[in-house]
């Protein structure tokens, strides 16, 4: 069974530019989560999709972040415009129901 | 603010020594999960504890969930170099998981 995949693995962009991260969950998993870990801090929840609907987006830091999951399959997380404090590792996870979440490898975002 | 505190942040041990990391929550948790992240990797699920006072073992790893379901610990007996990584706890309260800051374990051969 293929795991959660994320693309790209690493992105370096300049302040003010736009970046779109992609997450492909495990096939059949209705739940998709985005998390972020800023250097030296804990992994923080960003939002939760159930199929194509946003179940909980309370962790989204501000309106520069936009997450979508059209069709309830893969999800994208767009940061526009990027700021220095957006640097970190963005993890995606998927699950079936409330069972354990399978994490993707993460995308390391560096904003310079 | 942060709801799950994890200590210590860093731990260096000699191979063969024991290691323990602790998580404490300000609120009662529905369950708690533990993850291990190898250097350069992503968090991998280790175990989930649900019941008050629950103790589970995986080979040299022992996981405990406090009676009040507000704290948990992970204990590794006789560490090996393969145990190197960052160990995270994640507590479920309401519908959201709150992650600890992680404990980075270095094992000196």
Q: Which two tokens stand for residue A39?
A: 């250097």
pLDDT of residue A72: 87
pLDDT in tens, B29-86: 998 989 898 876 667 889 989 999 999 999 999 999 999 999 999 999 999 999 999 8
Asked whether the beta carbons of residue A45 and residue B97 sit closer than 8 angstroms, the reply is yes
- Chain A residues inside the 8 Å CB shell of B34: none
Q: Which has more confidence, B80 or A44?
A: B80
Quick check: B1 pLDDT over 60? no
pLDDT of residue A61: 92
pLDDT in tens, A56-103: 898 899 999 999 998 889 999 999 999 999 999 899 988 887 656 777
pLDDT of residue A102: 78
Band the pLDDT of A1: cuts 50, 70, 90: low
When the pLDDT of each residue in chain A is averaged and rounded to a whole number, the result is 90
Checking DSSP bridges between strand A107-111 and strand A10-13, what pairing results, if any?
parallel
Q: How far is Cα of residue A34 from the mean position of the Cα atoms in its chain?
A: 4
pLDDT of residue A98: 61
- Closest Cβ opposite residue A42 in set B2, B44, B96: B2
- Chain B residues inside the 8 Å CB shell of A59: 96
One-character DSSP codes across A56-76: E-TT--STTEEEE-GGGS-EE
pLDDT in tens, B4-28: 889 998 999 999 999 999 999 999 9
Band the pLDDT of B99: cuts 50, 70, 90: confident
- Chain A residues inside the 8 Å CB shell of B21: none
């Amino acid at each position: 069974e293929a795991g959660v995949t994320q693309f790209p693995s690493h992105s370096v962009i300049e302040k003010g530019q736009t970046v779109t991260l992609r997450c492909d969950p495990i096939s059949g998993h209705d739940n998709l989560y985005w998390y972020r870990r800023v250097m030296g801090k804990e992994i923080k929840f960003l939002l939760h999709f159930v199929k194509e609907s946003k179940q909980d987006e309370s962790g989204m830091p501000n309106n520069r972040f936009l997450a979508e999951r059209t069709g309830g399959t893969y999800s994208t997380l767009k940061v526009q415009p990027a700021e220095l404090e957006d640097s970190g590792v963005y993890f995606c996870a998927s699950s079936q129901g409330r069972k354990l979440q399978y994490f993707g490898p993460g995308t390391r975002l560096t904003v310079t | 603010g942060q709801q799950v505190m994890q200590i210590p942040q860093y731990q260096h041990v000699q191979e063969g020594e024991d290691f323990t990391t602790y998580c404490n929550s300000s609120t009662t948790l529905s369950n708690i999960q533990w993850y291990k992240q190898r250097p350069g990797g992503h968090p991998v699920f280790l175990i989930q504890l649900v019941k008050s006072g629950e103790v589970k073992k995986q080979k040299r790893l022992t996981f405990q969930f406090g009676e009040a379901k507000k704290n948990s610990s992970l204990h590794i007996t006789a560490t090996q170099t393969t145990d190197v990584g960052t160990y995270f706890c994640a507590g479920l309260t309401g519908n959201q998981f709150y992650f600890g800051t992680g404990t980075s374990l270095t094992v000196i051969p």
